[in-house]
Amino acid sequence: MNIHEYQGKEILSSFGVRIQRGIVAHNAKEAVDAAKELTALTGTGWHVIKAQVHAGGRGKGGGVKIAKNLKEVEDITGQIIGMDLVTPQTSAEGKRVHKVLIAEDVYYPGANEPEEYYMSVLLNRSTGRNMIMYSTEGGMDIETVAEETPELIFTEEIDPSVGLMPFQARRIAFNLGLSGTAFKEMTKFVMALYTAFDKSDSSLFEINPVLKTSDDKIMAVDAKVTIDDNALFRHKDYAEMRDIREENPVEVEAKRVGLNYVDLDGNVGCMVNGAGLAMATMDLIKQAGGEPANFLDVGGTADAKRVEEALRLILKDDKVKAILINIFGGIVRCDRVAQGIVDACKNMGDAVKVPIIVRLQGTNADIAKEIIDNSGFNFFSATEFQEAADKVQEALK
Ligand code: GDP
Ligand code: MN
């Protein structure tokens, strides 16, 4: 589950990670009140107005702006809220901004120049261990750094039996070229950050930039936090941070009815039982010259109700030109699935406008094929994998 920057910062702060402080606002008036409150709290006169959407690169798209007085806070908030923010990480239509974070300006002048670093915490899947990835090249897009100057990206892997060790935090501070107060601040920052990652059951922290202020404080200026969905049951307060306006509406609907659905860009809808078969089916569609429109695992119970729910989900995507149903009847009998498909289509009437290729294999596959062939619907039946692929190709023509 992804959350907003301001929510990520709340979590970091609750574990003692220093953050750029801010208050969330839903309109210009709230923004001005927030700015006044922040000035009283932090002494800052300047504020940063930051669009809160689930996408990075907001700065580049005009979603992060400095306000030098309350009038500017009001004006800029007015401009940003309601805009469709386009960044390198959004679609061309962009993302509608519903709220902004009014934050203290932390790039104030002082003894030293402010410096930006990159830091993320994530699972290294090849070693099965968490790691901290960091770089002196903060503030910019880390993919570019990885491509052009990979030697400037460092990693520190954490042994799960002992956790992050203080010497590792010191190595990070050293590699970032820090000394004195900033060095101590960074080791504290890193230790707290890792604790936060671990205790919050997150699967990703990306802090870009981590800032060294002109007076040598280390803080998180940005926070991209992804929490492991499977752990939300033990973090009710984090679960409430879900903002479904930021999520794909079809995926939200799928979750509500308990289907494993992932939206994709193609033209062939898929309904499959079992994640492995679903992956293989997507390959099959590609081989047949189509592109899968979704991943959908209907699980073990493919009865009429379930099939109908799945069909309705798939058909919400108007790019879908054909649907491939590929179900292996091991525990569930193929004839019952076939009847389920027919009943679902009867029930849906003319909502089903595209051809459906049905491949049912397993127990009673022959009876199932008969049911499909005699249904009177725009169905193509298949029993073999390749046959299904050919029929998808035919249907797309
Ligand atoms: P992103 O563009 O979505 O990654 O949003 P960030 O939160 O990283 O902000 C983008 C950029 O805005 C940062 O890299 C900073 O350079 C700049 N920025 C953020 N906070 C401040 C601030 O307090 N003062 C100034 N002057 N710039 C800031
Ligand atoms: Mn950032």
Q: How confident is the model over 372-396, as pLDDT tens digits?
A: 999 999 999 998 888 998 999 898 8
The verdict on whether omega for the bond into residue 150 sits within 30 degrees of 0, i.e. cis, is no
**Average pLDDT of the residues in 150-158:** 96
CB of 209 closer than 6 angstroms to any ligand 1 atom: yes
Q: Which two tokens stand for residue 366?
A: 């022959």
Ligand 1 midpoint to CA 195 (Å): 25
Q: Report the nearest-CA residue for atom 15 of ligand 1.
A: 139
Hey, which of 12, 47, 48, 104 would you mutate to test ligand 1's pocket, going by the most ligand atoms within 8 Å of its Cβ?
48
Confidence label for 1 from pLDDT (cuts 50, 70 and 90): very high
Active site (annotated) includes residue 206: yes
Q: How far apart are CA 87 and CA 70, in angstroms?
A: 27
Q: How far apart are CA 382 and CA 223, in angstroms?
A: 50
The whole-number pLDDT of residue 141 equals: 86
Instruction: Please report, for residues 42, 283, 298, 372, 380, the alpha-carbon distance to residue 348 in angstroms, rounded to integers and kept in the order given.
Output: 59, 29, 18, 16, 18
Q: Which residue has the higher pLDDT, 74 or 257?
A: 74
The string of pLDDT tens digits covering residues 74-86 is 999 999 999 999 9
The whole-number pLDDT of residue 302 equals: 73
Q: Report the nearest-CA residue for atom 14 of ligand 1.
A: 139
Q: For residue 92, report the phi and psi dihedrals to the nearest 5 degrees.
A: -65, -25
Q: Report the nearest-CA residue for atom 8 of ligand 1.
A: 222
Catalytic residue chosen out of the listed positions 5, 137, 156, 206 = 206
Instruction: Please report, for residues 1, 32, 145, 204, the alpha-carbon distance to residue 241 in angstroms, rounded to integers and kept in the order given.
Output: 9, 24, 31, 16
**Average pLDDT of the residues in 198-225:** 98
CB of 59 closer than 6 angstroms to any ligand 1 atom: yes
The string of pLDDT tens digits covering residues 303-352 is 778 888 999 999 988 899 999 999 998 878 899 899 999 999 999 888 88
Ligand 1 midpoint to CA 381 (Å): 56
Closest approach atom of ligand 1 to CA 56: 3
Ligand nearest to the CA of 87: 1
Active site (annotated) includes residue 238: no
Q: Say what the alpha-carbon torsion angle 192, 41, 226, 57 is, to the nearest 10 degrees.
A: -120
Hey, which of 3, 42, 64, 212 would you mutate to test ligand 1's pocket, going by the most ligand atoms within 8 Å of its Cβ?
64
CB of 45 closer than 6 angstroms to any ligand 1 atom: no
The whole-number pLDDT of residue 397 equals: 83
The proportion of the chain whose per-residue pLDDT surpasses 70, expressed as a percent, equals 100
Classified as helix, coil or strand, 288 is coil
Q: How far apart are CA 281 and CA 359, in angstroms?
A: 11
Ligand nearest to the CA of 63: 1
Q: Which of 274, 261, 282 is CA-nearest to residue 331?
A: 274
Q: Which residue has the higher pLDDT, 178 or 249?
A: 178
Closest approach atom of ligand 1 to CA 104: 23
Q: Which residues are within 8 A (CB) of 322 and not within 5 positions of it... i.e. 6 or more apart?
A: 267, 268, 269, 290, 354, 355, 356, 357, 392, 395, 396
Q: What pTM value is reported for the model?
A: 0.86
Classified as helix, coil or strand, 83 is coil
Closest approach atom of ligand 1 to CA 59: 2
Ligand 2 midpoint to CA 125 (Å): 24
**Residue that the structure tokens 């203290």 belong to:** 104
Please, are residues 341 and 376 in contact by the beta-carbon 8 Å criterion?
Answer: no
| Average pLDDT for the chain | 94
